[in-house]
Chain A
Amino acid sequence: DAEITQSPRHKITETGRQVTLACHQTWNHNNMFWYRQDLGHGLRLIHYSYGVQDTNKGEVSDGYSVSRSNTEDLPLTLESAASSQTSVYFCASSAGNSPLHFGNGTRLTVT
């Protein structure tokens, strides 16, 4: 069955370190998204991509970057982790305007 895999599931890092969260999908979807989920804020879009070599900023992109070198992967990099980036991160994908399929999430703690 097709799926989206996020790794790691849990990560603890220190302030100032660079962190990369992996997202791999086997749906063959062109569209991929990164969200963060925080109490009181719901789901907020960080970055998205509509295809290989395409990346776009979402509403909370500061401090994050993504790259899309193939269809399957959209890694999310925190250039210099900050405590405000402690959150649960979700990767999602879709074909066109079809509903999003989500990964299981990565819980990131920045100490």
Chain B
Amino acid sequence: AQKVTQAQTEISVVEKEDVTLDCVYETRDTTYYLFWYKQPPSGELVFLIRRNSFDEQNEISGRYSWNFQKSTSSFNFTITASQVVDSAVYFCALGPRAGNNRKLIWGLGTSLAVNP
């Protein structure tokens, strides 16, 4: 079965703390994509990153970094020096490389509160 688990339902940190959001997935596919989306309080879903299953290099974008480990089926997301604007619900998703997004499997999300 395909599944995405975001075990942390809610996380609360103080500004400038580092925080890691966990994402563990299950799939029988040998090739797949992993995604992270951000949903701020305004409600829209914003794409953050897509990672191909054959590329295990870590990715860094400013204060955001992603750690993909096939050995543990995890695709964790770290925010360094968190800011209040990072407060949002973050979703991890899994999808096959073919299929035009109709088979995306979504985690239930982690709600991150960054307090001043």
Chain A residues at the B interface, C-beta cutoff of 8 Å: 31, 33, 40-43, 45, 48, 50, 56, 58, 88, 90, 92, 94, 96-97, 99-105
Contact = CB atoms under 8 A, between A and B. Distances in A.
Given A43-B91, A94-B100, A97-B97, 7 more contacts: A31-B100, A42-B109, A90-B45, A97-B33, A99-B50, A100-B45, A105-B43
22 contacts: A31-B100, A31-B101, A33-B102, A40-B108, A42-B91, A42-B106, A42-B108, A42-B109, A43-B106, A45-B102, A56-B102, A88-B43, A92-B101, A94-B100, A97-B33, A97-B97, A97-B98, A97-B99, A99-B35, A102-B46, A104-B42, A104-B43
A104 to B, nearest CB: 5
A48 B102 contact: yes
B91 A102 contact: no
A90 to B, nearest CB: 6
Contacts of B37: 102
Contacts of B44: 102-105
Contact of A96 (B35, B100, B104): B100
A11 to B, nearest CB: 14
Chain B interface: which size bin? 20 to 34
Interface in B26-78: 33, 35, 37, 42-47, 50
Central interface residue in B47, B50, B101, B102, by most chain A CB within 10 Å: B101
User: What are the 7 A-B residue pairs with the smallest beta carbon separation, nearest first?
Assistant: A102-B45, A43-B106, A42-B108, A42-B106, A99-B47, A104-B44, A105-B43
A57 to B, nearest CB: 10
Contacts of B46: 102
B39 to A, nearest CB: 9
Contacts of A45: 102, 104
Given A33-B101, A97-B100, A42 B107 contact: yes
